[in-house]
């Protein structure tokens, strides 16, 4: 799981997507794409953003939910919190075998 998180975070575009979701969670693909274009000057296709979101979702950093015909993306910080707890608090109960 940690390898997937590191792979997802290695790409600057995916980090920007996470930044946008941290600022306002629950965005559609269209909204994320528009924000990447207007705020960051990234001219990604819908498919390109969708592929980045798929990597983030596989790493557990993004959760998706459907409401009718629409799919919304939410930031999930749990994988990052688990990794940081492992290193910053090695004596935490969840880190003991």
Residue 97 has pLDDT above 60, yes or no: no
User: In this predicted model, what pLDDT tens digit does every residue of 65-86 receive, in sequence order?
Assistant: 999 999 999 999 999 998 888 8
Q: Cα dihedral sign for 53, 57, 59, 62?
A: positive
Q: Is 50 exposed, middle or buried (0-12, 13-18, 19+ CB in 10 A)?
A: middle
In whole angstroms, how far apart are CA 93 and each of 76, 77, 82, 84, 85?
A: 22, 19, 12, 14, 10
Q: pTM of the full predicted structure? A: 0.85
End-to-end Cα separation, the chain, in angstroms: 18
Domain architecture of the chain: domains with CATH: 2-90 (1.10.10.10)
Give pLDDT tens digits for 27-65: 999 999 999 999 999 989 999 999 999 999 999 999 999
Q: Are 45 and 53 in contact (CB under 8 A)?
A: no
């Amino acid at each position: 799981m940690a390898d997937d998180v590191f792979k997802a975070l290695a790409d600057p575009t995916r980090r920007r997507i996470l930044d946008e979701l941290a600022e306002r969670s629950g965005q559609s693909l269209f909204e994320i794409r528009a924000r990447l274009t207007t705020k960051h000057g990234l001219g990604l296709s819908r498919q390109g953003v969708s592929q980045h979101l798929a990597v983030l979702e596989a790493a557990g950093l993004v959760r998706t939910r459907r409401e009718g015909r629409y799919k919304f993306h939410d930031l999930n910080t749990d994988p990052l919190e688990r990794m940081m707890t492992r290193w910053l608090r090695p004596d935490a109960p969840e880190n003991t075998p």
